[in-house]
Amino acid sequence: MHPKRPSLHTLRFGILLVLVIWFALLACEPSTTTNTSEPVPEQAPTVKRDSKGFEVDPPGQWYRGDMHVHATGASNDTGGESPPEDIARVAQERGLHFVVLTDHSNSTGSDTTTTDEDPKLFNQGPEFPYWEKVKSLSVPGKFLMIDGNEISPVAEGERPITPTGHIGCIPKDLDTFDRSGAFIDRPKGTVTGKQALDQALKRGCFAIVNHPYAPTAWITYDWTSFDYNGMEIWNGGLGFDLFDEYGYHAWRCDLLKGRSVVPIAASDNHRTKIESPGGGLNPALGYPSTSIFAEKLTWPSLMQGLQAGKVALHEGDSFLQLDNYDSNKRHTEATKTRWLRVRGSVDAKAKPPIALTLTRMTACVDPRPERTPPEVTEVKVLSKALKPGDSFDYAIEIKGEVGVYTAMVRPSGEHYIAISRAIVIQ
């Protein structure tokens, strides 16, 4: 006799019971899946590198400008030959992206047509007469003109032999800048370089010591304050001359002492008709110039680059860029620098022989406030011979030795030089 077969209902019940037990056992086992409530580490972004293995440059470009220019109708020594309209036209013809008018403060009263000093007109202003005019001469995205000032105190006498100093006032924020009232620069012999500098800083200027050393004593700086933001280490006319070199040394001495100072090159142009590169006491507009690395051609962006010291000083097509990288060839802060990179070009009009040097300044004998220029101790890290029209890209591995690193392209003549920013390792 055959045993009785289970019914279909019983089979279904058995299968269901097995499945329930199986799922219960799974629920009791430790989970091997990722806990989605815990953050998942982000994968490091891929570093973009160029053909030499270095991290590519950050977004932005170099914008070339002249931050020391005088205009007719606001400075009394232009001979009537530099209205703002002509400055804007010539600047763009010479490839400038921005210009700052730095007309003399009210050194002869309100009369800009005469060099005679009338005490009744001292410290009357106005100091920024082209504030609205420059807006109409600017071309968004192509060219900017800014109205600044050069505070110009002077010592007593017809030909003073006592330094005071000229302070370039570059407005940092055009929306909040204080244009009220005049700068105080007279009577003669009553305003020091420090007092002029303090006025500029109080107003909201990026304050620059213009031509700190010069052939004429009365326009040199008295070093009564070291609170300036920038130093004009290259003033136009004679090219990069002996007095500019004194300023170059003083700037590096400041850096070695821990001061934050941005180097500036500017023409000090008074007459737009002067052909480039200019000469003697006749500097040409845009010769030399300061280029600023910025994300875009707006004043806030340019000021951000300027205050960060992202500058290059040059004449014509000569250009020099100095960058620092860590051991992995990525952009880094100064203390982690293991690679220095020198890139640039030489103007085809530069006179050979032409030398490219990268130096490390290690010591400074600084007699300031005496007029005697500083003496520096430096060693050459790189030395190369170049030709007119050359382009170059050199990378130098360093061991992090302390000092102030700067590079220079120097032809045999005074013109078409290029000077880099500084990398300071302390």
User: Could you tell me the domains of the chain?
Assistant: 61-316 (3.20.20.140), 318-426 (2.60.40)
- Chain-centre distance for alpha carbon 115: 34
Q: pLDDT of 49-88, one tens digit each? A: 999 999 999 999 999 999 999 999 888 888 889 999 999 9
Please tell me the predicted confidence (pLDDT) of residue 108: 57
Q: CA-CA distance, 418 to 55, in Å (whole number)? A: 24
* pLDDT given for residue 12 in this prediction: 45
Cβ within 8 Å of residue 138, ≥6 positions away: 144, 145
CA distances from 204 to 177, 207, 337 (A): 6, 9, 33
Distance CA 211, CA 262 (A): 14
Q: How far apart are CA 426 and CA 402, in angstroms?
A: 5
Which segments in the chain show pLDDT lower than 50?
Answer: 1-37, 40
In the chain, the amino acid numbered 153 is P
Which of 340, 253, 267 lies closest to 102 in space, CA to CA?
267
Pairing of strands 339-345, 278-279: unpaired
pLDDT at 303: 98
Cβ neighbours for 89, distance < 8 A, ≥ 6 positions apart? none
Cα distance between residue 386 and residue 13, in whole Å: 94
Question: Residue 104: how many CB atoms within 10 A of its CB?
Answer: 20
Closest of 57, 138, 63 to residue 289, by C-alpha: 63
CA–chain centroid gap for 364, Å, is 23
pLDDT at 2: 41
